[in-house]
Amino acid sequence: MRGSFARIARSLPRAIRARRISLGLTQEELSNDIGVTPRHYQKIEAGRSNPTLRTLCAIADALKISVSELLALP
């Protein structure tokens, strides 16, 4: 992986997790909010699965943040 993709692939799972924790949500609560199984959500947050654009938008909405802000988080 090179460039922007590599940076996003590394930072996005951490940004999602940090924002989820700051809002006091569990992985199960967030997975229910976005309509994916808890196991699938865990893989996204662990960086073992890339979310689709639809899922990324749902995650951002559930975390009360825009996709662009979520992608910009370190």
- The predicted model scores a pTM of 0.90
Tell me the CATH number at 31: 1.10.260.40
pLDDT at residue 65, as a whole number: 97
Reported as a single tens digit per residue, the pLDDT across 36-67 is 999 999 999 999 999 999 999 999 999 999 99
Could you tell me if 64 and 16 are in contact, meaning their C-beta atoms sit under 8 angstroms apart? no
Gyration radius (Cα) of the chain, Å? 11
**DSSP states of 55-73 as a string?**
HHHHHHHHTTS-HHHHHH-
pLDDT at residue 5, as a whole number: 82
Residue span of the structural domain in which 39 resides: 3-72
Number of domains the chain is built from: 1
Helix (H, G, I), strand (E, B) or coil at 30: helix
